[in-house]
Amino acid sequence: MEFKELQLEEIQHEHPIILEDLQHMHQGYKEYDDEIDDNDLITMQEFKCICDRCGLGIDWYHRNYYKCSSMSCNYSIHKFCAEICTTLRSPAHPSHILILKKGTTNWKCSSCLTDHDQDGIYYHCSTCNYKIDLRCATFLDQKTVHHPGHSHPLISVTVEPILSKCFACGKKHEGKFYHCTTCLNFSINSECLTLPIKCLTKHHSHMLTLCYSFSDQQYGSECRICEKELYSDIWIYKCSKCMFYAHLNCQPPLGRDLSKLMLLYDSHYKNRGVPRFPVHDESYNPLPQSRGVNEEIRDENGYLIHFSHEHPLVLIHNKSNNDKASTSEVKSMSLHNPMKRIKLLCNGCVRPIMTMPFYKCSHGYNECSNFALHESCARLHTRIKCYECPHTLVLQQSGPLFWCRICKLPCNGFAYNCDTCGYNIDVHCGSRPSEIKHEAHACDMYLWTPQSNRPWYVRTPRSIRKYLRKKKLMNTRRACYACRNIIDELGTYYECPLCDYYLDCLCALHLPKKIRNKYDKHPLTLRYSPIENHKGQYFCEVCEDDLNPEKWFYHCSECSQSIHSACATLILQSEQGVDAVHEDCVYKFVNMKFGGVINTEDHVHPLSFVAGTISDGDCTKCGLDLQSKFILKCLQCKFAIHSYCESSITESAKQELVEMFKNLEKIREPKIHSRPQRVVTFYPEEIIRPETQPSKRV
């Protein structure tokens, strides 16, 4: 066989060559992916060419390669092929040093047994006639992978697929794995290693970027596709413009793919007339009404006699001047208007009165100026049945205050009461529909209470019931998708059993679609996820605290302003100091109507019933904080006391109020828990060496 030794000068290219870094754009891109053009990243990762020295491909995972500096020349070469030496000590032939040579006739590689023509370059041992081509000589470099997701080179040391845990996705699966010989504990599956830097998904309108950590997320988020937690030590796809985050290769929950089962179910009950939420705005009252003939009692003037007020009620509207209310009285009325900082709440449902007609006291607007009633609330059902109580509940005036046994919120509106059990609930909890359709979720949602017999489950087709039993829904912890808090096991909530989607009753029923607030001239819309192309950090325009866009909130797209849903009802400047509890989506005093003036022996001036703020300071009598408590406040001087510090209150009523505020101040358990970084101890405490077994007689 003919051969000749080579000098490196003989195989050098005729033009100067320059070193290229295929991953240079990835230096620092992962936190600011919107600053780099998507097409540039895609083009760079898809780069491929052929090495003119070894004949194998050059790709993005080699990271560095040499190319000709001349624009008219396409010469390219691996970095390790360009940096070869004239001699090689190979583990495949350790006895002698191999010399770089060039064949002049056909030859075969002694390592891979590949036939080559006479122009091949190889390493040769003249003593043993051992030949190895450049591909085998650079085998380790050919198998080495460089990836911007890890700072060290990676190499695959397995021939057959293995079952192992992937560092990138955090899951254990079978396949070809690449390992880092520097870190020792880093192992990644080839499928995750070769994922595209940029991709599109049907779940989001923007292109997503592969991100190698989740440490920049300040809110603690979850995958927007499978709705499970994301941890800081796994790779994800993200859109930083919209705070859209997703697991690698994530698929929707199994329940969302049960289209055939859903169609089967809907075909049975497609005409159910399910109530739809959220309601359009604050003026809409979804409470059911009773229109019985004997429900309304009127005096000789035609005024309504209602159990909730000591005086007859007059209907206020602007249809005609012949109405019982005079034109001057109608003009003097101001409906609820947050833009003008005017509050007019119904004494029955404790919700805004924003449209006429409605009822007011007929004895003039100075004597009972704080009393108002929706026309629909004057016709509420007087008797109802409730899952939580075995007896019939009767509608009655609440008195000064009561504690709703279902939503756990204080209320001074109408109450449904059971005298036998001492059971009280507000009219909203008493009128909860058993099934709703919410805009935030595509499927119907059903009311769950510990005492209910789940009638929707009984009438569900057998195929769906079998699926639900397989999922073992009864044993899972449930979290509200609006406020992201764990739902009490004994609480009530709405559920979509097919999709594992849950909403507590407050978030499902008490947040209207649109609100008006004095901080924005436009209506604000209820949002269920971060806003697309939102720049900067979210904060609330009312309380000026940070806002977590993973929870439901109100947003104005024209002004790019956001408000906590719990702060939405705080329309007065003085209410900024009221703690709205941002852990929840609904204002904790949503069932309270403040106002009215009383005379008490504790102070010389009349006192107003209001919610305590930071500016109110401490109680004049007990010295404790007044913020977020029910207080009696003098508008003429700085006197202010807790409502339970009033001299006329009984000791039992005081204890009940104190316990009520303790329950309100309890922080609910959040859904997402931080998981510590994984710590891998590679070296054991004791190194065990293999021992030779003792010889035995045969």
Q: Give one DSSP letter per residue of 609-669, joined into a string.
A: EEE--GGG-B-TTT--B-TTSEEEE-SSSS-EEEGGGSTTS-HHHHHHHHHHHHHHTPPPP
Contacts of 267 (CB under 8 A, 6+ apart): none
Within 10 angstroms of residue 334's Cβ, the number of other Cβ atoms is: 10
Question: Prior bond to 278 cis, omega within 30?
Answer: yes
State the residue for tokens 């019982």.
324
Q: Please, what are the domains in the chain? A: 3-143 (no CATH), 151-254 (no CATH), 383-430 (no CATH), 514-577 (3.30.60), 597-664 (no CATH)
Give per-residue pLDDT as tens, 204-227: 888 888 888 776 566 667 888 887
208 has which bridge partners? 199
Tell me the average pLDDT of the chain.
81
Structure confidence at residue 321 (pLDDT): 41
**CB–CB of 139/148 below 8 Å?**
no
Alpha carbon distance 147, 590 (integer Å)? 54
- Reply yes or no on whether the pLDDT at 197 is more than 50: yes
Query: Of 243-252, 253-262, 297-306, 522-531, which range is least confident?
Result: 253-262
Asked if residues 44 and 27 have their Cβ atoms less than 8 Å apart, the reply is: no
Confidence of residue 479 (pLDDT cuts 50, 70, 90): confident
Cα 332 to the center of its chain, rounded Å: 46
pLDDT at residue 100, as a whole number: 86
Residue 23 CA to residue 336 CA, distance in Å, equals 60
Axis-axis angle for helices 259-268, 462-471 (nearest 10): 130
pLDDT tens for each residue of 222-272: 888 887 778 777 888 888 778 888 888 886 665 555 444 554 455 545 556
Residues 500/524, Cβ–Cβ less than 8 Å: no
Task: Write down the pLDDT at residue 224.
Answer: 83
Exposure class string for 111-122: b at 16+ Cβ within 10 A, else e: beeeebeeebbb
- Residue 634: pLDDT band (50, 70, 90) is very high
Would the pLDDT of 41 be above 70?
Answer: yes
pLDDT at 51 over 50: yes
Single-letter residue type at 593 = K
Structure tokens at 211: 């991100």
The lowest-confidence range among 249-263, 592-606, 642-656 is: 249-263
| 1 pLDDT more than 60 | no
Q: Which two tokens stand for residue 48?
A: 């491929």
What pLDDT is recorded for position 562? 92
Give the residue among 409, 404, 423, 388 at the shortest CA–CA distance from 663: 409
Percent of the chain whose pLDDT exceeds 90? 21
pTM of the predicted model as reported, rounded to 2 decimal places: 0.79
* Whether the predicted pLDDT of 278 surpasses 90: yes
pLDDT for 118 equals 67
Question: Can you give the pLDDT at residue 105?
Answer: 78
Q: Closest Cα partner for 34 from 186, 212, 242?
A: 242
pLDDT of 292 reads: 46
